[in-house]
């Protein structure tokens, strides 16, 4: 079951975004002003210079410089003689991420401060805040809006709690009353976003960081962090951590310090950046610094600030396969790489884990989707799968030789509904099967026909998102050769 309780919060060094949490818990407007002090509006040029001086990049994963977004929206408004819209992406669709929900539930006024700064500088006509339909943080945000006066009308829009709903284009589509999926073609929201107007779109932490920087100024803001990445950041640490938490730390903090704080045991692999991120080894984690540059140096990525270590008591490749199946099921399904490529990648990884296919099959399936999707979802999924093949190479060798690693897949990656409460696998009675091939037509994402025209599928449990198709395949088999059995 998906968690709806916000995890504890910790801080390494000086708190900024999390300032006042220990004293007040949730900061209402009075507590917020007592902790952070007053803030006034900023002219466009001043806000641009501030965002550029502190090198503020989007905290949602892509890391696009905020000052470039601001500049693009300003230029688009002037060129088209249109007003702007400010959008706060607080949907946080990835189940492993909790940092934006922490801000929503405990420091909502920081988010609203940042959005108000942007709206004033852009002379925007409205602010829209996108929240997931798990409603975590909605009451806190609604209360904060009632406590203050925003510079322009501000509304909350609810989006489905799906991985793909957090993609910027999908959020804009949802606000515009369209399906909550990325647009079929890539376009810039700074040119045409909500209601066709130039739109500034960034995530909740980014706006909160802007509010902190506006109070401190660029020099004091840069007193923490590194020269290239000033300030602090929020991290969500889950997985095998004995003390899972959302942690604020300065950029450049040793990753080892964060892992020790959350009591993370030595791990065969640590996922950095979330489900679109990359795995790193324990040795790499011991050398890494928490920053975009520091994590890239050891083969990882900061992404949306998600850290998911796994323990020695679970099968790492089985965990990775569960995530790829989930990501394949969470796609928009509107382009070939998502409709066919991601299920193929999930199936290939299942085959490799079961010892039925070499790693080259996974690499080929990943290569077929990279750079070809309507959004970054196929690329991120391929990156995740390929890094798992690299970091867990020894486990892969054991699986492909038929020995296996000897560990159960415990489902520690934070997936909704994982592990499957009722895992089932397909079985085939070869004495009955005549190779009609109907099953492969019903559920081609899991069953294929071999060179002799007979069904072939991995011996692993059927992914939850393909169970309905598997049951249909069992029903249409004219020889009653296909069955669903309980997976051990």
> Which helix (H) or strand (E) covers residue 272, if one does?
strand 269-272
- The pTM score is 0.86
Give yes or no for residue 297 having a pLDDT over 80.
yes
Most confident segment among 139-148, 324-333, 378-387: 139-148
CB 351 within 8 A of CB 312: no
**Higher pLDDT, residue 163 or 50:** 50
- Distance, CA of 444 to chain centre: 28
- CATH for 232-310? 3.10.20.600
| pLDDT attached to residue 1 | 31
| pLDDT attached to residue 409 | 86
Averaged pLDDT score across all residues of the chain: 89
Q: For domain 17-221, which architecture applies? A: 3-Layer(aba) Sandwich (3.40)
Give yes or no for residue 2 having a pLDDT over 50.
no
Give yes or no for residue 420 having a pLDDT over 60.
no
- CATH for 424-486? 3.30.70.20
| pLDDT attached to residue 159 | 86
Check whether domain 316-400 has CATH 1.20.1440.230, yes or no: yes
Helix axes 108-122, 99-106, angle to 10 degrees: 90
- Say how many CA atoms lie within 13 Å of 126 toward its Cβ: 12
Nearest Cα neighbor of 362 from 374, 371, 353 is: 353
Give the residue extent of every domain in the chain. 17-221, 232-310, 316-400, 424-486
Residues ≥6 apart with Cβ < 8 Å to 95: 2, 163, 414, 415, 416
The CA-atom distances, in angstroms, between 121 and each of 114, 195, 238 are 11, 20, 38
Give yes or no for residue 18 having a pLDDT over 90.
yes
Mean pLDDT of 223-235: 95
Mean pLDDT of 260-268: 93
Least confidently predicted of 27-31, 322-326, 462-466, 472-476: 462-466
- Distance, CA of 225 to chain centre: 24
Mean pLDDT of 380-398: 90
Model confidence pLDDT, tens digit, residues 58-75: 887 777 899 999 999 999
Model confidence pLDDT, tens digit, residues 317-355: 999 998 998 888 787 777 777 777 888 888 888 888 877
């Amino acid at each position: 079951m998906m968690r709806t309780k916000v995890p504890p919060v910790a801080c390494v060094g000086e708190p900024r975004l999390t300032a006042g949490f220990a004293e007040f818990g949730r900061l209402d407007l009075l507590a917020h002003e007592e902790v952070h002090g007053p803030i006034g509006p900023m002219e466009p040029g001043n806000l641009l210079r501030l965002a550029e001086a502190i090198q503020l990049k989007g905290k949602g994963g892509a890391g696009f410089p905020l000052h470039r977004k601001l500049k693009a929206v300003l230029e688009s408004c002037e060129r088209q003689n249109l007003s702007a819209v400010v959008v706060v992406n607080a949907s946080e669709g990835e189940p492993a991420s909790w940092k934006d929900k922490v801000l929503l539930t405990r420091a909502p006024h920081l988010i609203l401060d940042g959005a108000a700064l942007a709206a004033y500088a852009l002379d925007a006509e409205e602010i829209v805040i996108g929240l997931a339909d798990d409603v975590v943080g909605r009451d806190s945000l609604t209360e904060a809006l009632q406590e203050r006066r925003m510079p322009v009308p501000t509304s909350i829009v609810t989006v489905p709690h799906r991985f793909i709903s957090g993609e910027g284009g999908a959020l804009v589509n949802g606000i515009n009353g369209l399906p909550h999926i990325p647009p079929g073609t890539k376009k810039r929201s700074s040119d045409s976003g909500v209601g066709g107007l130039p739109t500034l779109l960034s995530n909740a932490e980014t706006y909160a960081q802007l509010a902190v920087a506006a109070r401190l100024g660029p020099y004091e803001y840069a007193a923490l962090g590194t020269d290239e990445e000033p300030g602090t950041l929020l991290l969500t640490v889950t997985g095998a951590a004995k003390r899972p938490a959302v942690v604020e730390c300065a950029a450049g903090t040793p990753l080892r310090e964060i892992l020790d704080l959350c009591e993370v045991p030595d791990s065969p692999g640590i996922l950095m950046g979330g489900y679109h991120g990359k795995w790193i080894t324990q040795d790499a984690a011991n050398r890494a610094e928490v920053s975009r540059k520091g994590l890239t140096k050891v083969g990882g990525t900061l992404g949306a600030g998600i850290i998911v270590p796994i323990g020695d008591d679970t099968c790492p490749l089985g965990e990775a396969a569960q995530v790829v199946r989930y990501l394949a099921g969470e796609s928009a399904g509107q382009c070939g790489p998502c409709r066919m490529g991601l299920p193929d990648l999930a199936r290939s990884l299942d085959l490799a884990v079961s010892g039925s296919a070499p790693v080259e099959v996974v690499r080929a399936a990943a290569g077929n989707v990279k750079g070809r999707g309507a959004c970054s979802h196929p690329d991120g999924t391929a990156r995740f799968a390929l890094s798992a093949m690299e970091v867990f190479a020894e486990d892969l060798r054991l699986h492909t030789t038929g020995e296996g690693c000897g560990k159960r897949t415990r489902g520690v990656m934070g997936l909704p509904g994982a592990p499957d409460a009722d895992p089932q696998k397909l079985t085939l009675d070869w004495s009955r099967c005549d190779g009609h091939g109907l099953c492969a037509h019903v559920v081609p994402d899991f069953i294929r026909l071999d060179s002799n025209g007979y069904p072939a599928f991995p011996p692993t449990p059927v992914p939850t998102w393909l169970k309905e198709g598997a049951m249909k395949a069992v029903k249409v088999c004219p020889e009653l050769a296909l069955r669903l059995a309980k997976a051990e």
